[in-house]
Amino acid sequence: MSQLVNTRIVLASRPEGRVKADNFRVEQAEIPIAGDGEILLRILYLSLDPYMRGRMDDAKSYAAPVAINAVMEGGTVAEVIESRNPAYRVGDIVLSHSGWQSYALSDGNGLRKLDPEIAPLSTAVGVLGMPGFTAYTGLLTIGQPKPGETVVVAAASGPVGSAVGQIARIKGARAVGIAGGQDKCAFIKNELGFDAAIDHRAPDFAELLKQACPDGIDVYFENVGGAVWDAVFPLLNTYARVPVCGLIAQYDGLDTSGKDRLPYVMRDVLKKSLLIRGFIQREFVDQRPAFAQAMAGWLRSGEVKYREDIVDGLANAPQAFMGLLQGHNFGKLVVRVA
């Protein structure tokens, strides 16, 4: 294998403000050889997700940052092409965390075998993977929607938001999605079955959202922050629940308002008895079997649908990732590596 080439995309520098192309560097290296107990993986699909922006900064967080000159991290679907580990055979397809590269070594820890017959392999990093699990656990564990309640979700055409709205509908709640652009709004309303879809780019966005939520908001699944939060927050009902999954408007300099939201947020947290809780999906790892069973059933029945935005070629990952942070993707963003 050593005569072949492993393409790797590494973190060349830490972003100052928005991510730029020169924060990445493409490298070519020899493909490693599997040692005792190891397997060699050929990456088929790479997941691109907003959380990766935080890993590019050298700041204290729930996970260590990517080191300068290290391979950018990310979830992957891979094929075993060489194995010296009895638990894996050549040809096995696995879910791994191999990052932005075309080949990777693994000792087998943390891998999960995938069945290509169940669903397209790319869904293992989408609706059947971390994004779907994030939606399931955040909504049902923290949001706890009840029949007849109003659930609002930002970034509703994305992999997390689209699942949140559909699960809310399955549980008997009204689903109101916020998305950027008429095409995305039409998709979540007409194809995914949301009760209402609001374009956050509309000049009267706040008023349109208020009209779509005449009885207020009982659950708000937060993916964005910024101006979207400003429109949602006054509509929260007493005892509303707010799972905080992401704040993409703050990741890459999209929120330029400079507002100090803390005083009025804390006032209404007290006045309305609000529950606002941030979470990382791995906190709920014990729910994975229930999620896998439920989501597989919803996909089979058509109660949950999904959309993917697939980019071909690892070299295109940096540009695609920068577009993701600006909301240019439409559906789950996946790079087809091989």
User: Which amino acid type is present at position 116?
Assistant: P
User: Which amino acid type is present at position 81?
Assistant: I
The band of 48, judged by pLDDT with boundaries at 50, 70 and 90, is very high
The band of 255, judged by pLDDT with boundaries at 50, 70 and 90, is low
d(CA 54, CA 31): 29
Can you tell me the mean pLDDT for 53-68?
A: 89
pLDDT at residue 1, as a whole number: 45
pLDDT at residue 134, as a whole number: 97
Mean pLDDT, the chain, integer:
94
User: Which amino acid type is present at position 317?
Assistant: A
Q: What 8-state DSSP symbol labels residue 140?
A: I
Above 90 in pLDDT, residue 252? no
**CATH numbers and ranges of domains, the chain:** 5-126+307-336 (3.90.180.10), 130-282 (3.40.50.720)
Element (H, E) at 163: helix 159-170
Tell me the Cα Rg of the chain.
21
Dihedral angle, C-alpha 14, 15, 20, 26, nearest 10 °: 10
Handedness of CA 277, 278, 282, 288 (dihedral sign): positive
Q: Where are the alpha helices (DSSP H) in 205-307?
A: 205-212, 226-232, 248-251, 262-271, 288-301
| Distance (Å) of CA 139 to CA 75, 112, 173, 287, 305 | 22, 25, 12, 13, 17
pLDDT digits (tens, 9 = 90+) for 26-40: 999 999 999 999 999
CB atoms inside a 10 Å sphere around CB 238: 11
pLDDT at residue 63, as a whole number: 82
Beta-carbon contacts of 161 under 8 Å, excluding residues fewer than 6 positions away, are 135, 153, 154, 155, 177, 179, 221, 223
d(CA 136, CA 258): 32
The band of 254, judged by pLDDT with boundaries at 50, 70 and 90, is low
Above 90 in pLDDT, residue 264? no
Element (H, E) at 220: strand 217-221
d(CA 68, CA 293): 39
d(CA 97, CA 105): 11
pLDDT at residue 2, as a whole number: 44
d(CA 215, CA 148): 10
pLDDT digits (tens, 9 = 90+) for 163-212: 999 999 999 999 999 999 999 999 999 999 999 999 999 999 999 999 99
pLDDT digits (tens, 9 = 90+) for 307-329: 999 999 999 999 999 999 998 99
Evaluate whether 222 touches 248 at the Cβ level (below 8 Å): no
d(CA 242, CA 144): 10
pLDDT digits (tens, 9 = 90+) for 79-128: 999 999 999 999 999 999 999 999 999 999 999 999 998 899 999 999 99
